[in-house]
């Protein structure tokens, strides 16, 4: 991981949105991704993700010809692919069990891939975990991630969408009221 740059963990859905240039996103979400990628290319931030992101991003899910873009990002010195080792696996298990043990979650927990992502972000001290995953899935009996921000399985972790860039003020227009 590169120097003193802030470290942001990217969930697989962000890479997919970026590579697919998803037009169905909420206003500002694709601008937020573009801003993060720009900051990344300028080496202002570092990005990390689990190696399971590679598995989750099948060629069916990403447009043809975009694998090179992804590989270019993943080869940079301010990008780290995190292995799933015994520490990550045990913490992922503990996170899932933490939610299952609490009545307020009614037997729901995070999915096993999400638990691996979250455990990796916690262990490698990400400043923030970026995702678009906000909805519970009844089909998978799993929790959305955004609402877990601040306390992920008993661990402090900010889970949020990437920040929408602040629009620059046009010169000469500051302070003008309409």
Digit-coded pLDDT (tens) for 50-69: 999 988 987 667 788 888 88
Contact between 1 and 7 under an 8 Å Cβ cutoff? The reply is yes
Pick the CATH number of 7-160 from 3.40.50.1010, 3.40.190.10, 3.40.50.300, 3.10.110.10: 3.40.50.1010
Intervals of the chain under pLDDT 50: 1-2, 168-170, 173-178
| Its pTM surpasses 0.85 | yes
Q: What's the confidence (pLDDT) of residue 10? A: 98
CB 98 within 8 A of CB 128: no
Which run of H or of E encompasses 55?
Answer: helix 52-56
Residue 146: both structure tokens together: 């955004």
Return the half-sphere exposure (C-beta side, CA atoms, 13 A cut-off) of residue 67: 9
Task: Provide the pLDDT for residue 61.
Answer: 77
Among residues 82, 81, 79, the alpha carbon closest in space to that of 2 is found at 79
- The residue to which tokens 């780290």 are assigned: 80
Pairing of strands 46-50, 159-160: unpaired
Residue 111: the pLDDT is 95
Alpha carbons 142 and 137: distance in angstroms, whole number: 5
């Amino acid at each position: 991981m590169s120097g003193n740059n802030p470290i942001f963990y990217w969930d697989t859905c962000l890479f997919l949105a970026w590579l697919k240039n998803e037009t169905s996103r909420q206003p500002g979400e694709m601008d937020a991704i573009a801003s993060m990628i720009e900051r990344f290319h300028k080496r202002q931030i570092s990005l990390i993700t689990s190696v399971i992101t590679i598995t989750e991003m099948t060629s069916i899910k990403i447009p043809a010809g975009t694998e090179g873009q992804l590989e270019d990002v993943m080869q940079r010195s301010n990008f780290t692919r995190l292995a799933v080792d015994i520490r990550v696996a045990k913490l992922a298990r503990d996170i899932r069990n933490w939610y299952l043990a609490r009545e307020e979650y009614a037997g729901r927990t995070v999915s096993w891939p999400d638990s691996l992502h979250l455990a990796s972000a916690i262990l490698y001290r990400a400043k923030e975990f970026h995702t678009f995953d906000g909805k519970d899935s009844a089909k998978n009996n799993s929790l959305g991630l955004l609402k877990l921000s601040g306390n992920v399985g008993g661990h402090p972790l900010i889970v949020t969408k990437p920040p929408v860039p602040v629009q620059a003020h046009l010169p000469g227009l500051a302070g003008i009221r309409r």
